[in-house]
Amino acid sequence: MNEDVPLSLLFSLLVFLLLLSAFFSSSETALMTLNRYRLRHQARAGNRSAKLIETLLSRPDRLIGLILLGNNLVNIFAASLTTIIAIRIGGDSAIAAGALILTVVILIFAEVTPKTLAALQPERVAKPAAYVYYPLLKLTYPVVWLLNAISNGILLLLGVSPKKLSGDALSQEELRTVVMEASSLIPRRHKRMLLSILDLENVAVDDVMVPRNEIVGLDLDNSIDEILSQLQSSPHTRLPLYRENLDNILGIVHIRKLARLLTSGRLDRDSLCDLAREPYFVPEGTPLHVQLVNFQASKRRYALVVDEYGDIQGLVTLEDILEEIVGEFTAMPITLYQEADRQPDGSYVVSGTANIRDLNRSLNWDLPTDGAKTVNGLILEELETIPSPGTTLDIDGFSIAIMQTADKAVKTVRIRSTDS
């Protein structure tokens, strides 16, 4: 009976089976390598094929069972058909040669090539395949269910629960990697902002605060003329109000509220105290993402940072936190220019009070930030003594030469990257 079937028809059937095998192989790879987040976005936007794929992938065991069932049936039929063709052409001695040729053909045209195409362009393959698999799964559900039941039973014997699917939520580091790899799709400035947001929980208020010795405030023990002069020349909108020193702080005064009194000449110490708002204290070590929420909840923009003994260590503002996300505001480049002066030889003369995080961000350096906050603090922490001018040290690929010391602190250093 086999001899009554033309060889041309047998070859045509074989080619058709190979095409089906290529379809099953490529669609399996495409469906399993799809970007799940893009797929979810498209499904929520109403894309019908994306919704079908999401439904199929909700039970990947059933989808894989269906694909493998189809692929194995097709390959078995192709092997049987090849045997018939080989016998028709060369007799029983040609069966081995036919099997070898079929193996090579399947590997090239039904496995490697279609799977490579599907891996490179998964959406182009997966979306049309979804319209085939969705009704096919309903038609073959009893068989697929039986196969999955047996397979899942074996997995349970091995201690693996098929229902315990691993979540596809991204960790912080994975999300960081996604942002870094999406550089061609996201503007550089936006990418920097996204990475800064992810870093907020790793940065504390004492990393960005204005240190205590740099806080500008109003001392009520000064004369009223001195206070008026300070208010009129202050670049800040909010100032702490205190007596003698910051430990005796009375409140925070907003200059805008003083405008009417300033213009009318009726400003005095009592009116300053009346208009001052109760100070808002936060403990050092508070992560920036927590403090951002606290600022929002308390409707504040200005907080004093205190240590475990209640002593004021500095102040942090909402603008300081926003600068960590969007970058420095207009005043900052001038400050950095004064604190880090580039020399003709490529080194930088840096002030000891320069903030390490600001230097890293502005000069693309990688000085350690897990300890000291300033260059002076970093050097003292490394040497455990106050160095004399001329002392040099290497820290994480940077050569630091002490140029000037005074008042028990390093005032000026020369920093050069040894990696460049």
SS3 sequence of 231-270: HHHCCCCEEEEEECEEEEEEEEEEHHHHHHHHHHCCCCHH
- Least confidently predicted of 14-23, 180-189, 233-242, 347-356: 180-189
- Least confidently predicted of 21-35, 113-127, 333-347: 333-347
Averaged pLDDT, 165-179: 69
Give the residues across from 342 on adjacent strands: 348
pLDDT band for 167, please (50, 70, 90 cuts).
low
What fold is seen in the domain 332-417?
Answer: 3.30.465
Q: Cα–chain-centroid distance for residue 128?
A: 33
What pLDDT score was predicted for residue 266?
75
What pLDDT score was predicted for residue 89?
87
**What is the Cα–Cα distance from 417 to 350, expressed in whole angstroms?**
13
Which of 90-94, 108-112, 321-325, 358-362 shows the highest mean pLDDT? 108-112
Does position 176 have pLDDT exceeding 80, yes or no? no
What pLDDT score was predicted for residue 333?
44
pLDDT in tens, 48-87: 988 998 888 888 888 998 999 999 999 999 999 999 888 8
Averaged pLDDT, 299-325: 89
Does position 253 have pLDDT exceeding 50, yes or no? yes
What pLDDT score was predicted for residue 28?
92
Q: Give the residue range(s) of CATH 3.10.580.10 domains in the chain.
A: 203-318
Amino acid at 225: D
Averaged pLDDT, 125-148: 91
Scan for tokens 């693996």, then name that residue: 160
Calculate Rg over the CA atoms of the chain.
Answer: 36
Q: Give the residue range(s) of CATH 3.30.465.10 domains in the chain.
A: 332-417
Scan for tokens 């040099």, then name that residue: 392
Q: In what order do the strands lie in the sheet with 340-342?
A: 340-342, 348-351, 409-417, 398-406, 392-395
- Least confidently predicted of 24-38, 185-199, 271-285, 364-378: 185-199
CATH class of the 203-318 domain in this structure: alpha beta
Averaged pLDDT, 120-132: 91
* Cβ-contact 410, 400 below 8 angstroms: no
